[in-house]
Amino acid sequence: MGIWLEGKTLAKEIKEKVKKEVSYCLKKKNQKPGLVGILVGKNKASQVYLRIKERSCFEMGIHSEILNLPADINPSALKSKIETLNQREDIDGILVQLPLPSSLDPYEIINSILPEKDVDGFHPYNLGNLLMNQIGLKPCTPLGIIELLKNREISIEGKRVVIIGRSLIVGKPLAAMMTNENGTVTICHSRTKNLSQVAAEADILVAAMGRGAFVTPEFIKEGATVVDVGMNYLTDREKMESLFGKDEKREKDINEKGYTLIGDVHPLVIEKAEYLTPVPRGVGPLTVALLMRNTLDAFKRRKNLQ
């Protein structure tokens, strides 16, 4: 039976440090970081994520704004809003909540954010720096995974790392980070052949695919570290019971919210893995904590406070 690798405690520690530094800057320099989240359209999940980020900013003492824009905004109008934020002295971080409506090209839109304010780390300049193993703003979810492994002294060097998922948000930047940490990395996706066999070679397996409970024990090498990035909304009570048995918390979730949050990894994997991150309370809280730290870093760099 493996150990649950929760991210909550580390996320709290990171946030406490950010909060202290923000309060120090406010006292000594009378300045504080500012973050703007841009929401285009009315995607429910995106609204929830932005509210969580806003609440976190509030706890940290970071100034925060949410810009709600209509789904049919044209690219030049959106880019002109971003340009205004690029020019604002009091704003250090700009994030465009993804996914964008299909009429907008995320590459074009993210490219219009000033790299020094791109606290999500998705701008080509920042991704280039990541590939070149240089200092810069890095995507928060993969960064959280690296921080969690380091914090628990799970070494990456020389390890066989398999990542399922090649998105720009998780899989690809994580592959670069794991390579920079001297892991031997394989990245898998929907066209990968013999996926479970490839996964079962991993010392560290990361599932970032968005397929509830897809990764079953046959994907796992005995004693592997398994990181579950997936966030899937399960509404089917019977399916929930077949996965988790009698689980009061999840039953309450379904009764009250209509869903329970599950990962990409099947709960039985804990019996084979050495470590497994839970969903919720695993990688998720670290993503928000690192967004706060990226915003503070962007602020310090812009104001020469290092």
Task: Kindly list the catalytic residues.
Answer: 53, 97, 120
- Residue numbers 64-93 binding ligand NAP by CB under 6 A: none
**Rounded Cα distance, 291 and 286, in Å:** 8
| Strand, helix or coil for residue 33 | coil
- Identity of the residue, 62 or 169, whose beta carbon is nearer to ligand NAP in the bound complex: 169
- Please spell the DSSP secondary structure of 154-219, one letter per residue: ---TT-EEEEE---TTTHHHHHHHHHHTT-EEEEE-TT-TTHHHHHTT-SEEEE-S--TT-B-GGG
2: its two tokens? 């493996």
81 vs 221 by CB, closer to ligand NAP: 221
CB 167 within 8 A of CB 189: no
| Helix 44-60 vs helix 8-29: crossing angle, to nearest 10 | 50
Looking only at residues 189 through 248 of this chain, which bind ligand NAP when binding is defined by CB under 6 A? 189-192, 195, 208-211, 229-232
Task: Tell me which of 79, 284, 296, 297 binds ligand NAP, using CB under 6 A.
Answer: 284
Residue 265, beta-bridge partner list: 215
Residue in the shown chain whose Cβ atom is closest to ligand NAP: 167
CB of 208 to ligand NAP, least distance (A): 4
CB of 234: closest distance to ligand NAP in angstroms?
A: 12
Give the single-character DSSP code of 265.
B
The count of residues in the chain is: 306
Q: Write down the least CB distance from residue 286 to ligand NAP, Å.
A: 7
CA 93 to chain centre: 16
Residue window 127-166: x/- pattern of binding to ligand NAP, with contact defined by CB under 6 A? --------------x----------------------xxx
When the beta carbons of 87 and 194 are compared against ligand NAP, the nearer one is: 194
Interaction of residue 283 with ligand NAP, rule CB under 6 A: yes
- What single-letter DSSP state applies at residue 101? P
Q: Is 167 in the site for ligand NAP (CB under 6 A)?
A: yes
Tell me if 57 contacts ligand NAP by CB under 6 A: no
- Residue numbers of the site for ligand NAP (CB under 6 A)? 141, 164-167, 169-171, 188-192, 195, 208-211, 229-232, 283-284, 287
